[in-house]
Amino acid sequence: MSETVAMRHPTLPADQEIEVPKDSVPHYTGAGWQMVPAEELEHRAELKAQAEAAAAEEAARQEAGTAAEPEDATAAEAAEQQAATEPEQSEPADMPTKPSRTRAKPKSTEEN
Protein backbone atom coordinates (compact mmCIF):
# COMPACT_ATOMS: atom_id res chain seq x y z
CA MET A 1 0.00 0.00 0.00
CA SER A 2 1.16 3.50 -0.68
CA GLU A 3 1.32 6.09 2.05
CA THR A 4 -1.33 8.78 2.25
CA VAL A 5 -1.08 12.40 3.33
CA ALA A 6 -3.79 14.54 4.94
CA MET A 7 -4.43 17.82 3.14
CA ARG A 8 -6.82 20.75 3.52
CA HIS A 9 -7.73 23.73 1.39
CA PRO A 10 -7.63 27.26 2.85
CA THR A 11 -11.06 28.12 1.44
CA LEU A 12 -12.73 25.15 3.15
CA PRO A 13 -13.45 24.59 6.86
CA ALA A 14 -10.35 23.54 8.80
CA ASP A 15 -11.87 20.18 9.73
CA GLN A 16 -12.65 19.30 6.11
CA GLU A 17 -9.64 17.34 4.99
CA ILE A 18 -8.79 14.77 2.35
CA GLU A 19 -6.28 11.95 2.28
CA VAL A 20 -4.32 11.62 -0.93
CA PRO A 21 -1.49 9.32 -2.02
CA LYS A 22 1.90 10.79 -1.17
CA ASP A 23 2.83 10.71 -4.86
CA SER A 24 -0.10 13.05 -5.70
CA VAL A 25 0.91 15.85 -3.32
CA PRO A 26 2.45 18.08 -6.05
CA HIS A 27 -0.79 17.88 -8.04
CA TYR A 28 -2.88 18.98 -5.05
CA THR A 29 -0.50 21.70 -3.86
CA GLY A 30 -0.67 23.24 -7.33
CA ALA A 31 -4.43 23.55 -6.80
CA GLY A 32 -3.99 25.31 -3.44
CA TRP A 33 -4.21 22.34 -1.05
CA GLN A 34 -1.88 22.39 1.95
CA MET A 35 -0.51 19.50 3.96
CA VAL A 36 -1.80 19.20 7.52
CA PRO A 37 1.14 19.79 9.89
CA ALA A 38 2.64 16.62 11.38
CA GLU A 39 2.36 18.07 14.90
CA GLU A 40 -1.40 18.42 14.51
CA LEU A 41 -1.72 14.84 13.27
CA GLU A 42 0.39 13.57 16.20
CA HIS A 43 -1.75 15.52 18.66
CA ARG A 44 -4.93 13.99 17.17
CA ALA A 45 -3.41 10.52 17.41
CA GLU A 46 -2.59 11.11 21.10
CA LEU A 47 -6.14 12.28 21.84
CA LYS A 48 -7.58 9.30 20.01
CA ALA A 49 -5.35 6.91 21.95
CA GLN A 50 -6.39 8.51 25.25
CA ALA A 51 -10.07 8.23 24.33
CA GLU A 52 -9.68 4.59 23.32
CA ALA A 53 -7.82 3.82 26.56
CA ALA A 54 -10.55 5.50 28.62
CA ALA A 55 -13.26 3.58 26.74
CA ALA A 56 -11.41 0.29 27.27
CA GLU A 57 -11.01 1.08 30.96
CA GLU A 58 -14.70 1.91 31.29
CA ALA A 59 -15.66 -1.31 29.48
CA ALA A 60 -13.42 -3.29 31.84
CA ARG A 61 -15.03 -1.59 34.85
CA GLN A 62 -18.53 -2.37 33.65
CA GLU A 63 -17.54 -5.93 32.85
CA ALA A 64 -16.22 -6.28 36.39
CA GLY A 65 -19.54 -5.00 37.72
CA THR A 66 -18.45 -1.66 39.11
CA ALA A 67 -20.06 1.25 37.31
CA ALA A 68 -18.33 4.60 37.26
CA GLU A 69 -20.85 6.57 39.27
CA PRO A 70 -18.85 9.81 39.67
CA GLU A 71 -18.40 10.12 35.89
CA ASP A 72 -22.11 9.41 35.32
CA ALA A 73 -23.04 12.07 37.87
CA THR A 74 -20.82 14.68 36.26
CA ALA A 75 -22.20 13.80 32.82
CA ALA A 76 -25.75 14.24 34.14
CA GLU A 77 -24.83 17.58 35.71
CA ALA A 78 -23.25 18.75 32.47
CA ALA A 79 -26.38 17.79 30.53
CA GLU A 80 -28.55 19.71 33.00
CA GLN A 81 -26.35 22.80 32.73
CA GLN A 82 -26.45 22.66 28.95
CA ALA A 83 -30.24 22.35 28.98
CA ALA A 84 -30.46 25.32 31.35
CA THR A 85 -28.28 27.53 29.18
CA GLU A 86 -30.05 26.73 25.90
CA PRO A 87 -33.01 28.99 25.09
CA GLU A 88 -36.41 27.38 25.03
CA GLN A 89 -37.85 26.64 21.63
CA SER A 90 -41.00 28.70 21.30
CA GLU A 91 -43.19 29.72 18.43
CA PRO A 92 -41.99 32.67 16.38
CA ALA A 93 -43.67 35.96 17.23
CA ASP A 94 -44.95 36.42 13.67
CA MET A 95 -47.02 33.23 13.56
CA PRO A 96 -50.55 33.92 12.30
CA THR A 97 -53.28 33.44 14.86
CA LYS A 98 -55.87 32.09 12.44
CA PRO A 99 -55.52 30.09 9.25
CA SER A 100 -55.44 31.85 5.94
CA ARG A 101 -58.58 31.90 3.84
CA THR A 102 -58.98 29.64 0.90
CA ARG A 103 -60.20 30.89 -2.44
CA ALA A 104 -63.89 30.56 -3.14
CA LYS A 105 -64.84 28.28 -6.00
CA PRO A 106 -65.58 30.18 -9.23
CA LYS A 107 -69.24 30.37 -10.09
CA SER A 108 -70.38 28.12 -12.83
CA THR A 109 -71.47 29.85 -16.06
CA GLU A 110 -74.01 27.12 -16.83
CA GLU A 111 -76.53 28.16 -14.14
CA ASN A 112 -78.89 29.88 -16.60
pLDDT digits (tens, 9 = 90+) for 29-53: 999 999 999 899 999 999 999 999 9
Supply the pLDDT for residue 25: 93
CB 33 within 8 A of CB 10: no
Alpha carbon distance, N-terminus to C-terminus of the chain: 86
* List of residues 6+ apart from 28 with CB closer than 8 A: 7, 20
Residue 49: burial class (beta carbons within 10 Å; 0-12, 13-18, 19+): exposed
Provide the CB-side half-sphere exposure for 103 (13 A, CA): 3
CB 26 within 8 A of CB 50: no
Q: With pLDDT > 70 as the criterion, what percentage of the chain qualifies? A: 56
H/E/C letters for each residue in 50-95?
HHHHHHHHHHHHHHHCCCCHHHHHHHHHHHHHHHHHCCCCCCCCCC
Tell me, yes or no, if the pTM score tops 0.85. no
